[in-house]
Each structure stands twice: as C-alpha cells, then as structure tokens.
C-alpha cells in the first residue's frame, strides 16, 4: 500500500509539472502587459520600465520560468502583482471557501443521486424511474448561471427563506451548494441507475436471491457495492469540473473563493497569482483522483494496488 | 426572454384576486419538496433588515484590490477610501476643489503650493495628524522603492517642506496647473507600511474595522472626524459582482444602497417596490468611438465624419440606455468648467454621411445592393452593454454602406490591442476625468502609447501648443479659453467621436436621506446621510 502510494505520488509529478509549464507559457503568451494594467497610461515610460525591472519581467521568459520552478518546492509561489501580497497567502485565504462549497455540493449530489439512482434501477420502467429520468435531464439542461438566480428568486425573494448572497457555513451555503451540486447529482443519478441495472442482471444477484437472501439485501449489500466502483471514479473525475463550475457559482453568490480570484488574476495579468491558483487546483485534483483510486480498491478487492 | 426580463416578470405583483392564495399554494408546495438538508437549516425569518438596526449596506460591483490610498488604483478601492481617508483637499459636486484636511491653501507663485491644516486633526487610531504625515504620504509615493502607481502624478514635485505642524509646502520643478487636483489623496500616518489588506489608519468619517477580500468591508463611524461624527454609525460595503444578485439583494432589503450597479432594464422593477427609490443625476464618464488615424480610410476626416453622422446616438440612448445617458460633444464631462457649451454637435444625417463617403473616394459599388463601400473592424470588450451598442452601430453603419465586423475581446487582450494601435475602430469610456489636462494625455502628438493615451496617433501642431501651454497656465480664464479652442479643433478633426455620458443612477432604501449624487460617483457624501422615519409601505419583496 505504501509503495503504491509513493509510486502514484511520483507519477503525479509529471502531470503537475506539465500543468505548471503549460499555464506559465499560456499566460505569458496572452496579450496584455501587467505593468500597463497596474500603472495606467498616464505613467511615465521610465516608471513603467522601473516597475518591469522590480517585478523581474524584464528577464528572458526561461529565466522567469526557472525562478518560478525553483520557488515551488520551498512553497514560494511569488508575490501577487496587484495586491503585493504573497500568492500563497492570497490562495490560503480563499481555499477554505472553495472547498467548503465543493465538498458540500458533492455531498448534496451524492445524497440525492444514491437514493434516486437506486430507486430508478429497482423500479425500472415504473413512475419513479421516469420521474428521476425527467428530473435528471432537466437538471442537466439548466446551466448554473440560470439555475442560481432562479433558486434565489424562489427561496430568497419569494419565500424569504435564505440569503441572496454572502459567505458562511450555514444558510448562505445552501443555494450555492445546491446550484453547483444539481448538475452532478443528475449525472450521478443516471450513472447509479445504469451501473446498478447492469449488476442486477448478473448471475451472482440471481443466485443470492435464489439462496433466500431478501431482494433488498441483495441490492444493498452486493449489487450496489459493485455498482459504486464506476460511480466513485466518476465522482473523483468530476471534482475538477466542480472547481471549474465554482467560478460561475462563486460570482453569482459573491462567494469569496479561488474561482473568483483566478478570474480577477487573469483580468489583471497577475502572472504569479494565475500560476499559483492553477497549481493549487491541479494538486487538489490529482490528490482527489488518487483518493478515488484507493477508495475503489477498498470497494472492490479485485482491484489491486499496482 | 432573457434573464433580466424574466426577473422583471417574476417580480411583478400577481393580480390581487388570486395573488394571496396562489402564493400560499406555491409556498406550501415548494416547502414540501425542499430537500432534507434544507429543512435542517435554521431559517431566521424574523431577522431584522439592516436598516431597521441603523445600518447602511452598500453593494459595489467588485472588490477592491487595495485600500491603501498610496497604491490603490481601482475604482472600488477609491470608493471605499472616499469614506475612510481624508485628503488635503476635496471636490464638490461641480468638481471644484474644496477644503478637506487643509482649511485653506494658496499658490504664491506657479511653483509653490502652501496648505494650512485644520487644528486638532486626528487619525482613527487617535494619533494627531500633522504636516509631517502629509509629507510622509507623498514622499512615500515618490520613493521608487515603494512602487506606487501614483508616482508619475507627482513627478513635478521637487520638495515637500513642513515649516510647522500645520503647514505643508510643495515646491514644483515646473508650473503644473492640474497640481491641486492631484492632492485628492488620502493622508496616512507617518511611518505606515504598505500591508495590503490591513491598510493604514485614515482620518475620514468612517473607520475600516474589517475587510474580507471578495467579501465585504465593515466601516464604523469615527467620532473624532473633524466634520463631526456621521449619523449612520455602521456601513457595510458588500462586493457583489452579479448585477441580478445586486438587484435581488436590494429587493430583499439586505442591501439598501447601490450606485450605478443596477441594470437599466431592472430599474422599473426597483421603482415598483415600495421600499426603494431610484434617483439619477448627470454622469461624468464619457463613452466615445476611437479611430486609428494610421489607417488609410480613417486618416481622412471626411470618412470619420461620415461614420459619426451615420450613428443615431439618440436611438441608442433611448433603446439601450433607456434614456439614462446624455449626448455629449466632447470627452470632457458636461459639467466641467472647461466645457464649451456652444460646441457644434455632429448630428445624425445618413444622407450627408453617404455624400461624404462618395467625396472621400468610397462610392457605393452597387447602389442598394449588398456590396459595401468600406469594410472596418470594431473592437470592444465583452461587456454586455458594449456588445449591444456595437451591434446597433454595426447596423447603422451598414445603412450607409460601411460593413463592420465586431470583435468582442477579453479585457486584457482588448486593451493591449488598443494601446498597440492594432485596431480600426474601438469604443471605450473615459472614467474620472478631473481636469481638462486630459486633452494633453489623449491627443498630444507626444502622448502616443506608451507615453500617453493618444491611441489613434492624432497629431495637430496647434493642439500640441495649446495643451502644452494650458497645463503651465495658472489663470483659470486663460486655461478655459485654450481648452475651448482645443475642443473646436477636435470637433473639426474628429479623431474620436464623443457619444454619451451615462447618467449616475442611485437605487436606495427610501428611508436613507442626505446623499449628494455627483458626476464623479463620489461616496464622500455618505458621511452626511441619515436614516429617516417614514410611514411603512407595502413591500413586494420577500418576507424576512
């Protein structure tokens, strides 16, 4: 197990290195000069050159890249051009908000998708199945930027139950988490239904029922466990999508997360901050995928740590 | 139906004969289907609105990057600073300089400015504010090591002297008429270090108690303010980027003050809500169309004039801005002391536009047929309103035979292209013009980027001479005469077409009083606001 983990961690290094390199090159290739954006057009050219030197943007791009890479192992991601604050501090301030939102929305998705998916599978072709199918299709069809304001209209404006925007672990979290989790819940519902149906058709389930095991136990203890392996894999893969989707949700609900920070950093051509945000998102995505693999192996002992 | 229209319809009050029961049914049904975790959340329906607790909640469309007056450049940072930090001088509603921390000032010669501070000034932390603090603030900005983006503004400052604790003297290297307007800069205590989200103390009417990046800023009244403590004891500034959400917060009452942050389409719905009042006043931000004069076709003034005459600005203001913009003839804000009220306007005249294009050598190749006389690209940002304006202008120019391709670009790319001169036509807005010296920055032949903002490469010897002379002239009357001549030259040559100045629109709770709406969108007069008692009005918004 330890060897497996070490191996997997080592294999993630090229992925992270690749992401860092591509983002570094892309952000530097984008038109737009951070110095011009910071100082404006009224600044004297000498002042702009001075700031360019101060920010070390006058050096060849390869030298800048080398400095950036050298700083990563020390946890030095540079200093934000726009705020003058260390990038790591800027990100650390926003990370809790983003992860609170992501974790809650994934929990919402799982809590909704598991019972609905199982219900749709065991009542295949019945009303519950059709209803869950229609619900899933509707949820997948409504984009977050529309769903968010619609939920606000209903639950905040019409019913006055929840705040329109803001940050917090209680009431302010409900609408952003539901907005972000709805699409994923729909996807997972259909996936649970499909994989469970496939398992239910297998002989071991028929044999278990023939031996006298109640149908519910056969589904819950045997078929569902096996059906969950691809679902957990999809859940891990969709973590990246949740982080990407959080950009829109954070903007709608004024949620102070890393998504909004990244957008502001791109607008300001704040190179260190963009690179830092992407690096952190990449690291977390890799970590979640690793955790997913381990969980899958736990769920299905036939999957070996290799 | 777009989202804004949908919002408006949704918020429209239901017919009275069915409204109550239908709403109750909806509520019951929705509550019944709420997921389990929603049910686990405490509602707090009885929570009071902020205004009931004597609090004002302002919503800004974005979060400030920095709230240190020595380095802040973004509009949201400046707006927070207008409430927390006091300057040597301020601006009144007409843009004229007025005393702030300095009770008076004089300029014995064009190279010297002497400011006399009020007695007994104090910072929020209780320290006395003296001339040493003023000197420190500007010396800090001028120190290259501090990388202040404002350093260029003070490049004419040769020395700052403090003969006594209440007197500060600025000596300039050369006469610079707009100098006084650069003194609107918050003063910080001597020795203050730049610390990003923990800005130095100020001496303004409100103290900054808490600032969460991308979240909100909490301000409390400063009892030691020289002008007396503000009546509203607590002000929260929320940073809400989504315009629909800002509007919904207003409807809910959780926000009670929004300046220029509500979509024009939603203003009627705001007015319908009994709790809110919509007010408007002239704005100072001028939108214009810029031409690249290095382009073969656009180097001809007749082509530029033809384009100006083909644009029906009134129709755009009526349809897109819902009438909430004023047509302008110059890039100066309409109320500026240097504005020329008799400047001839370029009127909408498509027939004359066609004739001008014919004269300029761009005849229509096939009469009413599809072939254009001229093909141009029009660059703009991804702002929704700007894109809609571009589409209307594209259609209006098509009617005179000019084919326009719209390129809507991400802001950084768009602005980079404009500064590099990689454009034919673009549209932008001049924001915060405080002095007519803007003509030097925007049109002087030496102000081509990176040395200024003459992006189209305009050049005129008389304009160069006038703008050089006007910035060295201390007489207001002589400057006014020079700038009026400058505006005549620009109206003749049309290197840019000034389009309109958006009106400032304030949506506030009807119980908030005392705010002075100024063209420069200043939040300075928040200090004079108060909460008044009014008879209750029926609210269409949600219950709390």
The ipTM is 0.73
Contact between B332 and B525 under an 8 Å Cβ cutoff? The reply is no
What pLDDT is stored for residue B348 in this prediction?
96
Residue B486 has pLDDT above 90, yes or no: yes
For the stretch A237-281, pLDDT in tens is 777 778 777 888 888 888 888 988 888 888 888 889 999 998 888
User: What is the pLDDT at residue A285?
Assistant: 84
Q: Which two tokens stand for residue A62?
A: 């390869």
**Residue that wins the pLDDT comparison between A6 and A107:** A107
Report pLDDT for B362. 94
Residue B295 three-state SS:
coil
Please return the burial class of A2, using the count of CB atoms within 10 Å of its CB with bins 0-12, 13-18 and 19+. Answer: exposed
Q: For residues A215 and B302, which has the higher predicted lDDT (pLDDT)?
A: B302
Q: What is the percent of chain B with per-residue pLDDT over 90, rounded to a whole number?
A: 63
Is residue A48 less than 8 Å (CB to CB) from chain B? yes
Whether the per-residue pLDDT at B41 is higher than 60: the answer is no
The more confident residue out of B275 and B48 is: B275
Using CB atoms, pick whichever of A36, A152, A256 lies closest to residue B212. A256
B425-430 vs B374-381, strand pairing mode: parallel
Q: Per the CB < 8 Å rule, is A83 touching B11?
A: no
Q: Are A32 and B416 within 8 A, CB to CB?
A: yes
Q: How far apart are CA B49 and CA B416, in angstroms?
A: 45
The pLDDT score that the predictor gives to residue B352 is 96
What is d(CA A179, CA A172) in angstroms, rounded to the nearest whole number? 12
CB-count exposure of residue B10 (10 Å: 0-12, 13-18, 19+):
middle
For residues B149 and B216, which has the higher predicted lDDT (pLDDT)?
Answer: B216
Q: Indicate the pLDDT class of residue B492, thresholds 50, 70 and 90.
A: very high
Of B349 and B368, the structure prediction assigns the larger pLDDT to B349
Q: Give me the helices (H) in B218-277, please.
A: 243-252, 267-272
The pLDDT value recorded for residue A17 is 87
| DSSP single-letter state for residue B122 | B
What is the average pLDDT score of chain B? 87
What predicted TM-score, i.e. pTM, was given to this entire model? 0.79
Quickly state the pLDDT bin for B455 (edges 50, 70, 90): very high
β-pair partners for B409: B381
The band of B536, judged by pLDDT with boundaries at 50, 70 and 90, is low
The number of beta carbons lying within 10 Å of the beta carbon of residue B538 is 8
Per residue in B505-515, pLDDT (tens digit) is: 999 999 999 99
Strands B530-531 and B102-109: what pairing?
unpaired
Cβ-defined contact of A157 to B11 (cutoff 8 Å): yes
Which residues of chain B lie closer than 8 angstroms to A30, CB-CB? 412-413
Name residue, tokens 């890393």: A258
Does the beta-carbon distance from B213 to A94 stay under 8 Å? Answer: yes
Length of chain A: 306
By the 10 Å C-beta count (0-12 exposed, 13-18 middle, 19+ buried), B107 is classed as: middle
Cα separations in angstroms, B519 against A98, B31, B57, B246, B268: 38, 46, 22, 22, 22
pLDDT tens digits, A149-207: 889 888 988 888 888 888 888 889 999 999 999 988 998 999 889 989 888 888 888 88
Q: Is the pLDDT of residue B378 over 50?
A: yes
Q: Is the pLDDT of residue B14 over 80?
A: no
Q: How far apart are CA B395 and CA B401, in angstroms?
A: 10
Higher per-residue confidence, B396 vs A31: B396
Give the pLDDT band (50/70/90) at residue B196: low
Q: How far apart are CA B59 and CA B47, in angstroms?
A: 20
pLDDT tops 60 at residue B42? no
User: What is the reported pLDDT for A41?
Assistant: 66
Summarised one tens digit per residue, pLDDT across range A66-76 is: 988 888 888 88
Q: Which residues on B lie below 8 Å from A45 (Cβ)? A: 450-451
Strand pairing partners for B406?
Answer: B378
């Amino acid at each position: 197990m330890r060897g497996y983990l070490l191996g997997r961690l080592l294999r993630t290094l090229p992925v992270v290195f690749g992401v860092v390199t591509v983002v570094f090159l892309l952000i530097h290739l984008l038109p737009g000069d951070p110095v011009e954006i910071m100082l404006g057009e009224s600044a004297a050219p000498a002042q702009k050159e001075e700031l360019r030197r101060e920010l070390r943007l006058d050096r060849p791009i390869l030298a800048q890249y080398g400095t950036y890479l050298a700083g990563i192992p020390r946890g030095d991601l540079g200093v934000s051009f726009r705020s003058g604050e260390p990038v790591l501090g800027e990100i650390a301030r926003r990370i809790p908000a983003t992860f609170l939102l992501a974790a809650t929305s994934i929990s919402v998705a799982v809590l909704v998708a598991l019972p609905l998916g199982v219900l749709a599978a065991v009542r295949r072709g019945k009303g519950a199945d059709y209803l869950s199918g229609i619900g899933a299709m509707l949820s997948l069809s409504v984009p977050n930027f529309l769903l968010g304001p619609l939920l606000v209209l209903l639950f905040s404006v019409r019913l006055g139950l929840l705040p329109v925007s803001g940050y917090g672990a209680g009431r302010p979290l409900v609408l952003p988490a539901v907005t972000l989790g709805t699409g994923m819940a729909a996807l997972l519902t259909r996936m649970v239904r499909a994989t469970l149906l496939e398992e239910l058709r297998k002989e071991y389930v028929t044999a278990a029922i023939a031996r006298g095991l109640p149908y519910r136990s056969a589904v819950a203890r045997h078929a569902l466990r096996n059906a969950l392996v691809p679902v957990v894999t999809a859940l891990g893969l969709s973590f990246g999508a949740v982080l990407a989707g959080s950009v829109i949700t954070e903007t709608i609900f004024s949620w102070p997360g890393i998504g909004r920070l990244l957008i502001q950093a791109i607008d300001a051509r704040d190179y260190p901050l963009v690179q830092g945000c992407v690096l952190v998102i990449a690291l977390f995505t890799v970590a979640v995928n690793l955790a997913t693999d381990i969980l899958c192996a736990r769920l299905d002992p036939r999957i070996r740590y290799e | 139906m777009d989202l804004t229209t949908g919002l408006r319809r949704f918020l429209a009050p239901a017919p009275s004969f069915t409204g109550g029961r239908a709403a109750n049914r909806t509520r019951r049904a929705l509550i019944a289907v709420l997921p389990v975790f929603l049910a686990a959340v405490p509602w707090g329906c009885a929570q009071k609105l902020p205004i009931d607790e004597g609090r004002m909640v302002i919503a800004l469309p974005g979060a400030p990057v920095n709230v240190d007056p020595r380095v802040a450049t973004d509009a949201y940072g400046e707006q927070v600073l207008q409430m927390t930090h006091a300057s040597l001088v301020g601006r009144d509603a007409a843009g004229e300089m007025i005393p702030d921390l300095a009770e008076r000032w004089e300029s014995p010669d064009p190279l010297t400015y002497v400011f006399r501070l009020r007695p007994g000034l104090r910072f929020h932390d209780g320290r006395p504010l003296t001339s040493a603090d003023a000197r420190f603030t500007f010396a800090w900005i001028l120190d290259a090591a501090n990388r202040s983006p404002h350093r260029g503004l003070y490049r004419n400052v040769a020395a700052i002297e403090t003969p006594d604790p209440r007197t500060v003297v600025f000596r300039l290297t050369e006469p610079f008429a707009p100098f006084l307007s650069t003194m609107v800069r918050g003063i910080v205590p001597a020795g203050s270090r730049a610390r990003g989200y923990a800005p130095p103390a100020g001496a303004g009417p409100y103290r900054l108690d808490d600032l969460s990046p991308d979240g909100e800023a909490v301000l409390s009244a400063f009892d030691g303010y020289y002008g007396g403590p503000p009546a509203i004891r607590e002000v929260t500034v929320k940073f809400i980027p989504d315009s629909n959400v800002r509007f919904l917060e207003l409807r809910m009452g959780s926000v009670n003050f929004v300046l220029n942050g509500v979509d024009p389409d939603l203003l009627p719905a705001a007015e319908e809500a009994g709790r809110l009042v919509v007010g408007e006043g002239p704005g100072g931000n001028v939108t214009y169309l810029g031409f690249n004069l290095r382009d073969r076709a656009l180097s001809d003034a007749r082509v530029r004039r033809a384009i100006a005459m083909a644009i029906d600005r009134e129709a755009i203001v009526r349809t897109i801005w819902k009438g909430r913009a004023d047509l302008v003839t110059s890039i100066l804000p309409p109320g500026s002391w240097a504005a020329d009220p008799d400047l001839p306007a370029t009127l909408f005249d498509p027939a004359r536009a066609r004739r001008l294009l014919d004269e300029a050598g761009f005849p229509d190749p096939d009469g009413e047929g599809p072939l254009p006389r001229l093909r141009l690209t029009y660059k703009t940002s991804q702002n929704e309103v700007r894109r809609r304006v571009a589409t209307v202008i594209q259609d209006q120019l098509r009617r005179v035979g000019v084919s326009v391709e719209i390129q809507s670009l991400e802001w950084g790319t768009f602005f980079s292209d404009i500064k590099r001169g990689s454009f034919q036509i673009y549209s932008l807005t001049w924001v915060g013009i405080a002095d007519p010296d803007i003509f030097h920055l925007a049109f002087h032949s030496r102000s081509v980027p990176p040395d200024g903002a003459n992006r189209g490469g305009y050049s005129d010897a008389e304009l160069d001479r006038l703008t050089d002379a006007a910035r060295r002239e201390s007489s207001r009357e002589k400057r006014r005469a020079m700038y009026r001549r400058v505006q005549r030259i620009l109206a003749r040559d049309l290197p840019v077409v000034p389009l309109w100045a958006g009106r400032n629109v304030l949506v506030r709770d009807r119980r908030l009083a005392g705010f002075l709406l100024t063209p420069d969108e200043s939040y300075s007069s928040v200090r004079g606001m108060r909460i008044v008692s009014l008879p209750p009005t029926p609210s269409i918004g949600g219950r709390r």
